[in-house]
Structure 1
Amino acid sequence: MKGQVKFRIYDKDNEYRFTLKRNITIIQGESGTGKTTLLQAIFNSMSGSSAVAYTVETSANYFVYTDAYTNLRWETVLAEITNSVIFIEENNRFVYSNDFAKYVKKSGNYFVIIGRKPLKGLPYSWQEIYELVSHKGSGDLRRIYEFKEFYTNFTFTDYNFDLVIMEDSNAGFEFFKNFFSNVPVISANGNGNVLNTILAADASNILCIVDGAAFGSYLQEYYDDFENGKHYNKRITIWPPESFEWVLLKAGVFTCKNLDKILENPSDYIECSSYASWERFFTALAEESSEAQWKYNKNRLDDYYLTSGIKKKVNDVLPKELQDLAKKKTDGGKTDNITKMSLF
């Protein structure tokens, strides 16, 4: 399954509108915001219940897993579903299991999972974590419900970073260690180790570069920790591009047919049964598009990708703050002990 999927679900009083862009979407938020009503409306429509009051408009097949199936194993209920959007109600503990994670990655379905806790086994994007918000519609009496991103980008200024932490220890780490020559760059050796690496670091103003396409489950944990003042002497900024390979592709390091269209609308090109996350797709695309003499390898970066020409291309697509960081002169400056975690 691939492509964006639009839903419009409505009755005379309420209307839900949302678009699914990837194979995994997480819905968070407090009780009473309309999540249960949404799932019940879709379930009634799916089952042909006489209680149907809502009209569901979408081009996709869909299925809702609710407490109506609690007497059956989830594997049995979902086994035969393909090329569909599967909605899963809150409090279904199986979504945290390794078996469910394996199923999601291979099933070829899209999933909308309602839950407040991070699902560490699933590689979902920080951009696909939402809350349900509502507002009064114009011209009629309906209330409009829509998905709102839980975490949003915002800019920053005058961040004099004294350390850069890379999520991975492979190509991206090799590149940025060379690129940021005046600032220490270390590896966390995996997204699950980023927080411990931050806490162990002898630095107070830290930039973390992570693969945003698969960092969603970690972002909530880290963000809550720092925003609640648990680590009062650290200022953390996270830059979450889709992946390092996405950066190289965006910079035009590789020649690829339809590259501009792919980067503009990745959903149209990424078959979720083949790629559990967009990070894997962009890695495969970089490998396939690289020239034979300078074959791209995620595990070991060829020296060609550290040349001034390549670094110039990458520099030109980076946020201005990272361009400035690459020019930074070591001054030994320290930041005040202000708790902050931000995205940009």
Structure 2
Amino acid sequence: MHGVIHLLIQSAHLKYEMTFYRNITILKGDSATGKTTLVDMIQEYNLNGADTGINLSCDVPCRVLAGNTWMEQLNGIHKSLVFIDEGNRFVAQQEFARAIQGTDNYYVIVTRESISNLPYSVTEIYGIRSAGKYSVQEPVYHHMYRIYGDYNSVDLNETVNLLVEDSNSGYDFFSKVSSKDVECISAQGAGNIFGILQAKSSKANTVIIADGAAFGAYMEKVYQVMLRNKGIQLYLPESFEWLILSSGVLRDKEIEDILENPSDYIDCETYISWERYFTHLLTSRTADTYMRYSKSKLNPAFLQGKIREQILRILPETLRNVLRVK
């Protein structure tokens, strides 16, 4: 399944209107914001239909996954929008992460905790906001809002440490394009970034570069550190492969179309995260060329001349400034 999914569900007193762009969406927030009520309304509609007074309109079937028999339930659900309310502990288990890989559903998970076993995007972590009543006769309107904003810009203009999520091609690129007065460090994985920030003794500013498409589970802890230290900032493109594809070095019109609307092309049954899709896309499109891409080690072609410059132009100007590149 792929594409953007629209949901509208309404009772006499409540109305939810939501749009889902990827296969994993996280709903967070305090109690009494309507998250559990949303799941309950979907469950009630599935059990009793229009007799409940609930109207549900969605591009695909909506289902609720709950309880100890979740695996058996999941086996019978296909091409659906699957809601999981908080309190279902199975979402934090590796068994669940393995079970949803290769399925053709989108998942909406209500949770106050980060779920480190799932690769979800920082852009798909939402709260629910009430807009109040339109009038006495109309229901309270609820909609989603992104908890974390845009982290594709950097405001620092001083010498920095660069903390790169991986130790592979992305790190190779940034370590080689940075000037000598910029210390570039590999975190050896996104899960290590918080610990490195906690142990950080240097007073130098730090820019963290990570794959936004799979950084959602680590965002809350890193964000709390950022609130306490204004010298720490994030740059979260979808992935390093996305940067290369977006630079136009491949001169491929189909790639341009894909980047314009990724939801229309990325099949959740094949790719658990957009980062994996962009890796496959770049690897396959360069396989028989001098720019052959490998995630484990950067092809030197990406550091040469015009190709290097095109990739750098995708970066925010302020980030190019802190890297001391033109």
TM bracket (short chain): over 0.9
Match for 1:119: what amino acid? I
Question: Partners in 2 of 1:222 and 1:32 — Cα distance?
Answer: 26
- The total of aligned residue pairs comes to 321
Distance 2:325 2:294 in 1: 29
Distance 2:19 2:155 in 1: 33
Partner in structure 1 of residue 264 of structure 2? 268
Alignment check: 8 A CA contact 1:254 1:286 kept: no
Distance, in Å, in 2 between the alignment partners of 1:255 and 1:13 is 52
How many Å separate the matches in 1 of 2:197 and 2:231? 10
The answer to whether the aligner puts 1:143 opposite 2:146 as a matched pair is no
Q: How does 1:257-296 map to 2 (within 5 A)?
A: 257-290=253-286, 291-296=288-293
Residue 168 of structure 2: aligned partner: 170
**Partner-residue secondary structure (3-state), 1:148:** strand
Aligned pairs for 1:79-158 within 5 A: 79-136=75-132, 138=134, 141-153=138-150, 157-158=155-156
Q: Is the 8 A contact 2:154 2:235 kept in 1?
A: no
1:103 shift after superposition: 1.1
Deviation at residue 302 of structure 1 after TM alignment? 1.2
1:116-140 Cα distance to aligned partner (Å, 9 max, x none): 1000000000100000001136576
Partner of 2:267, secondary structure, is coil
Alignment map for 1:158-197 (pairs within 5 Å): 158-182=156-180, 183-197=182-196
User: Does 1:297 find its partner at 2:294?
Assistant: yes
- Is the 2:212–2:238 contact (alpha carbons within 8 Å) kept by the matching residues of 1? yes
Q: Does 1:317 align with 2:314?
A: yes
Is the contact made by 1:255 and 1:289 (CA closer than 8 Å) also made in structure 2? no
Per-residue deviation, 1:158: 4.1
The answer (yes or no) to whether the contact 1:62–1:85 under 8 Å persists in 2 is yes
Shift of 1:293: 2.4
1:10 is the counterpart of 2:7: no
Which structure 1 segments of 5+ residues have no match?
A: 330-344
Kept in 1: contact 2:156–2:322 (CA 8 A): no
Q: Could you tell me how far apart the structure 1 residues matched to 2:154 and 2:212 are?
A: 18
Task: Determine helix, strand or coil for the equivalent of 2:294.
Answer: coil
Q: Give the AA of the match of 2:265.
A: Y
TM-score (norm 2): 0.92
- Counterpart-to-counterpart distance in 2, 1:117 and 1:158: 31
Paired residue secondary structure (1:7): strand
Shift of 1:202: 4.5
Hey, what does 1:29 align to over in structure 2?
29
> Do the aligned partners of residues 200 and 75 (structure 1) sit closer, same or farther apart at CA in structure 2, a change above 3 Å counting?
same
In structure 2, the residue matched to 1:56 is 56
SS of the residue corresponding to residue 113 of structure 2 reads coil
Q: Which moved more, 1:302-311 or 1:116-125?
A: 302-311
Cα deviation code 1:81-117 (max 9, x no counterpart): 1111110011111100000011122222110000010
CA gap of 1:96–1:158, structure 2 versus 1, over 3 A, is closer
One-letter amino acid of the counterpart of residue 36, structure 1: T
Structure 1 distance, partners of 2:170, 2:284, is 18
Question: 1:63 touches 1:86 (CA, 8 Å); kept in 2?
Answer: yes
Inter-partner Cα distance in structure 1 for 2:155 and 2:297: 33
2: CA distance, partners of 1:180 / 1:52: 61
